[in-house]
Copies of this chain bind each other. A is one copy, B any other.
Amino acid sequence: MTRILLINANTSDYVTQKVAGVARAVVSPGTEVVAVTGEFGANVIATRTELAIANHACLDLLARYTNEHSERCDAAVIAVSYDVALWAAREMLDIPVIGITEAALLTACQLGTRIGVVMFGPRVLPVYQELAASYGLASRIAGWRGVDTSAPYAAGDQDEADRLAIEAANSLVERDGCEVVVLAGAVMAGVPPRLQAQVPVPLIEGVSCAMLQAESLIRLKPIKPRAGSLAALPARVQVGLSAALTARFKDAP
């Protein structure tokens, strides 16, 4: 039985359930998805400050779940579109860890040479740009659009949000020559099929891409590095962390 841990480092269970539903629909029949919600921090991460705090919340959640549960997970997917704590999690854990925006961008690299990105909330535009640059992918992204609505973060009518997303995607195709468009944000899980007919290039989102890549990496079985910045955590002194996180810095028995 393969098991993938799906981390929502936000504290909103609404998003967790939405994302988990899509994730379960994407994975292979034999794969279980264990979805968990953050225990502290923002309901919905939308500022740099919330994002910085979520790094801790995400690692805490990962440590907690992997320490306290008897069933081992085979991979973890971080379902926060800023890919919080992604490389730290790759260091802390010995299973593959996938971030949803990294996953979407890497998939997009296989579908078009010029990638467009649509995100919700113009305030976060620079944050996404910094993230894409941190992956070395800045030159692949030919256009960005920020859509100014928070409708996708709640149940309710999505018509206006859909209309804005379609308009943004088509503008990326027509004005910037994009040949694939990423809808950024965990809440975009499940949305592409609804909009695809009205956009002439592939529309993708990160949760589906990440779940598929998680299953691929589980089958690829890369070793845990024994050298470099992703090698297992050494024993180190910590103060005031949760028992689960503290345990991660103890010598292996």
Given contacts A50-B236, A91-B49, A114-B126, contact A201 B216 (CB under 8 A): no
Q: B residues within 8 A CB of A114?
A: 126, 129, 228
CB distance A123 to B228 under 8 Å? yes
- How far does the alpha carbon of A105 sit from the alpha carbon of B3 in the complex, in Å? 26
* Minimum CB–CB distance for A5 against chain B, Å: 16
Q: Does A143 contact B (CB under 8 A)?
A: no
Nearest-CB residue, chain B, relative to A238: B42
CB distance A48 to B228 under 8 Å? no
* Minimum CB–CB distance for A64 against chain B, Å: 13
Q: B residues within 8 A CB of A201?
A: 223, 225-228, 230
The residue that A130 contacts in the complex, of B39, B49, B126, B134, with Cβ under 8 A, is B134
Q: B residues within 8 A CB of A49?
A: 59, 88-89, 91-92, 233, 248
Q: B residues within 8 A CB of A225?
A: 112, 179-180, 200-202
CB distance A222 to B111 under 8 Å? yes
Q: Does A140 contact B (CB under 8 A)?
A: yes
Q: 17 A-B residue contacts at CB 8 Å? A: A38-B239, A43-B237, A52-B84, A55-B56, A56-B56, A56-B57, A109-B135, A112-B225, A112-B230, A113-B130, A113-B229, A125-B177, A133-B133, A133-B139, A202-B222, A212-B220, A216-B216
